[in-house]
Amino acid sequence: MTRQLNRLTEMTAVPRSRYEEQTMITIPSFTMNNGINIPALGYGVFQMTSDQVREHLPQALELGYRHIDTANAYFNEVAVGEVVRDAIAAGSVKREDLFITSKLFPQSYPYAQAVKDIDATLERLGLDYLDLLLFHQPYGEYTSGWKAMEEAVAAGKIRSIGLSNFPIAKFQEILDVASIKPVVNQVEAHPRWNQHELKARMDRAAGTEVLVEAWYPLGHGDKTLLEEPAIAAAAQRTGATPAQVILAWHLAEKNITFPKTLNPAHMADNLAALDVTLTEAEIAAINETPQAPYYVIPDEPPAFTTTVNDYSQQA
């Protein structure tokens, strides 16, 4: 689709694995506002145990995934690092071909703590640098910690920095103190909550494009989303599944997605969505879906965001 292809800035071909026929897939990337490319489709490890990461992340890498999304609050950074280092040591991937993201929770935001916790995340992962580090929740001393994030970029520990779950008012607070602007904001995004307004407001405030990374990209398991008429019609025309149509819509919308699955066949199905071509009319019809989020980010911090955790306790 023309609109979709015009937005893709880089294509990286990687071989598929034993889970499918040995063909080549193409994983598109988008260019962030700092000039660095970010793969449009990745593998997220939210709510995965360390053992699940050790089992399933190698399958994702074998299939061709190169973008990995974790967080200190996921308590699986150690396992992610082990899998990544093993794959590099085996020669199946190169570090420069991977894009690895982690996130800091609010307890890490005060400047002095952020300095320590950035190093702690790198130590748990066993990596010299992160491709992207995000502030995970919009609470606490995020304006203080942003300076530590910028210093980590200057030191070569992090290549890009961004935010997660930040509404426009708190996004603006970061801009007010920033020398380096956020490159992404990871938020709920899907056809029922397309984030068009937030995107436009972020871009105006930053004076540059800020990409959206989508959580709940398929609607948090809501089967009724898959049955939306515009999605069902596009699936019927293309022969794709409704989930693949939604992922193709995300690609056209320039959203970075991490559809979660522990099933290698579903991992391959998600990659196959990259070959689904939607028309302009189909994209427009999907964008007419009535809007409502599944989760509203509260202004005040929920208890789970203020609990102090010991992130060193990972197996």
Which residue's entry shows tokens 């889970």?
19
Could you list the beta-strand ranges (E) of 48-131: 67-69, 99-104
Task: Extract the runs of DSSP E, i.e. beta strands, from the chain.
Answer: 10-15, 24-31, 37-39, 43-44, 67-69, 99-104, 132-135, 161-164, 184-188, 211-215, 255-257
Q: How far is CA 245 from the centre of its chain?
A: 19
What is the Cα–Cα distance from 269 to 275, expressed in whole angstroms?
Answer: 10
On the 0-12 / 13-18 / 19+ scale of CB atoms within 10 A, 152 is: buried
- Burial of 100 by CB count in 10 Å (0-12 exposed, 13-18 middle, 19+ buried)? buried
Residue with tokens 């990259």: 274
- Of the candidates 19, 43, 65, 74, the residue annotated as catalytic is 74
Strand partners, 215: 188
The two structure tokens encoding residue 234 = 């596009």
Query: Has 74 been annotated as catalytic?
Result: yes
**How are the residues of the chain apportioned to helix, strand and coil, as percentages rounded to the nearest 5?**
45, 15, 40
CA–CA distance from 13 to each of 2, 31, 125, 155 (Å)?
20, 17, 26, 31
Please, is 228 exposed, middle or buried when counting C-beta atoms within 10 Å of its C-beta (0-12, 13-18, 19+)? buried
Q: How many C-beta neighbours within 10 Å does residue 56 have?
A: 20
Tell whether the torsion through CA atoms of 98, 99, 105 and 109 is positive or negative: positive
Catalytic sites, residue numbers: 74
